[in-house]
């Protein structure tokens, strides 16, 4: 996963030109071109070089979903892009001897946004900048962060066709937990908290934090249900743990839409210990299902989950900084909450009412479009 095909530079440069050519041929009066990720990053540059006369007032917004994927190709592909050689330069598309298509979008778009306010700040630092932090700092005057939303037509326990029992209140959630335990061949016990995880098995998602403390985790009074595909190393580790402790952990390799929904509905807590997370949707989905997220304080996770305070009962989940040891502490805090049924119920009922639909995100995008039109 994440590898580019050898002809991707040619395919996506063709696509970017094709979009502009189609708009021109169809005689569409375009105000704003909204470009997504490196695949369309050449569009703002082509607009300036080849289509300025056709679209003299058109503006471009470039959205970065994950800076880790930049469209980097060998320099011998540059001639396929249809650009003057002056653009093979460190101030343009050149990148450590290669070409980097993401740079075209960053440099030549009118505005840039990422998919959460915190991630917009993080990518200006060496830790999260993937060697583009210097360039992004140069253009940070046109950079903002707008949180993604989720589709409540798909992710809603009130009318989810995949789950054992639909529910609108936390009290009705329990049947989904008992069903999940039975389906995943775990002891069916309402008094054992279930920690769910639906993720790519990659270090970006913090799966190594979980495997590092797995022995300690499985010594606690809990069950773990993991669904994911990715690095074979972590698949092997999780498979071994499942064989050793089948009463404590269930691991399903690959992706299964039905099981994903059932994990959100049947878990008490949801694990997202990501190293970096541009936005993250899992925590927003888990809220809707009354499942409390346990997250690392990065990117969109930092923007959407507030650490729970046992005294004031403020907060919406468990948030940690650091690594595996800190994750373990957050899990222990979650176990403490689970023992206090009344507080657990109040928190779950509260998070089910949170609104992370696209409505507020759309309003922010429309405001950005208006600002661009008035520039």
- Whole-model pTM? 0.93
| CB burial readout 89-106, b (16+ within 10 A) else e | eeebbbbeebbbbbbbbb
- Where does the pLDDT of residue 5 fall: very low under 50, low under 70, confident under 90, or very high at 90 and above? confident
Q: Strand ranges (DSSP E) for the chain?
A: 32-36, 59-64, 72-74, 94-95, 98-100, 111-114, 143-145, 194-198, 223-228, 249-253, 269-272, 292-296, 318-320
Q: pLDDT digits over 118-146, tens only?
A: 999 999 999 999 999 999 999 999 999 99
Cβ-defined contacts of 130-136 (< 8 Å, 24+): 130/67, 130/68, 130/70, 131/95, 131/96, 132/67, 132/70, 132/100, 132/102, 132/103, 132/106, 135/103, 135/106, 135/107, 136/106, 136/112
The answer on pLDDT for 98 being more than 80 is: yes
- In angstroms, the CA 129 to CA 135 distance is 9
Q: What is the mean pLDDT of residues 278-307?
A: 98
Q: What is the mean pLDDT of residues 361-374?
A: 97
The answer on pLDDT for 87 being more than 70 is: yes
- Where does the pLDDT of residue 1 fall: very low under 50, low under 70, confident under 90, or very high at 90 and above? very low
The answer on pLDDT for 3 being more than 70 is: no
The answer on pLDDT for 154 being more than 60 is: yes
Q: pLDDT digits over 208-223, tens only?
A: 999 999 999 999 999 9
| CB burial readout 332-362, b (16+ within 10 A) else e | ebbbebbeeeeebeebbebbbeeebbeeebe
Token reading at 41? 């990053």
Q: What percentage of the chain has pLDDT greater than the value 90? A: 98
In order of start, what are the domains of the chain with their CATH numbers?
8-148+361-373 (3.40.50.2000), 157-355 (3.40.50.2000)
């Amino acid at each position: 996963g994440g590898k580019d095909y050898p002809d991707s530079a040619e395919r996506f440069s063709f696509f970017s030109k094709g979009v502009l050519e189609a708009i021109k041929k169809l005689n569409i009066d375009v105000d704003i071109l909204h470009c997504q990720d490196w695949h369309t990053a050449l569009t703002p540059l082509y607009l300036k070089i080849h289509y300025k006369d056709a679209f003299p007032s058109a503006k471009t917004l470039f959205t970065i979903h994950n800076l880790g994927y930049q469209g980097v190709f060998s320099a011998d592909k540059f001639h396929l892009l249809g650009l003057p050689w002056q653009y093979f330069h460190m101030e343009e598309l050149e990148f450590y001897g290669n070409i980097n298509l993401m740079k075209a979008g960053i440099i030549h778009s009118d505005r840039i946004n990422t998919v959460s306010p915190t991630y917009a700040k993080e990518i200006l630092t060496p830790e999260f900048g993937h060697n583009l932090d210097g360039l992004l700092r140069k253009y940070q005057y046109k950079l903002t962060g707008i949180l993604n939303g989720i589709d409540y037509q798909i992710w809603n326990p009130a009318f989810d066709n995949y789950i054992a029992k639909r529910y609108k209140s936390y009290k009705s959630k329990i049947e989904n937990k008992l069903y999940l335990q039975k389906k995943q061949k775990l002891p069916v016990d309402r008094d054992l908290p279930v920690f769910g995880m639906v993720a790519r098995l990659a270090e970006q998602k913090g799966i190594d934090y979980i495997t590092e403390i797995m022995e300690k985790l499985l010594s606690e009074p809990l069950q773990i249900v993991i669904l994911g595909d990715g690095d074979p190393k972590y698949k092997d580790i999780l498979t071994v743990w499942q064989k050793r402790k089948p009463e404590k952990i269930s691991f399903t390799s690959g992706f299964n839409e039905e099981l994903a929904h059932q994990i959100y509905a049947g878990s008490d807590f949801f694990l997202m210990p990501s190293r970096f997370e541009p936005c993250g949707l899992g925590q927003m989905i888990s809220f809707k299902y009354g499942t409390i997220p346990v997250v690392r304080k990065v990117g969109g996770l930092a923007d959407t989950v507030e650490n729970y305070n046992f005294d004031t009962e403020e907060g919406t989940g468990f948030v940690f900084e650091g690594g595996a040891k800190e994750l373990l502490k957050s899990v222990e805090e979650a176990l403490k909450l689970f023992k206090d049924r009344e507080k657990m119920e109040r928190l779950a009922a509260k998070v089910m009412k949170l609104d992370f639909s696209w409505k507020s995100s759309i309003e922010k995008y429309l405001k950005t479009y208006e600002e661009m039109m008035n520039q």
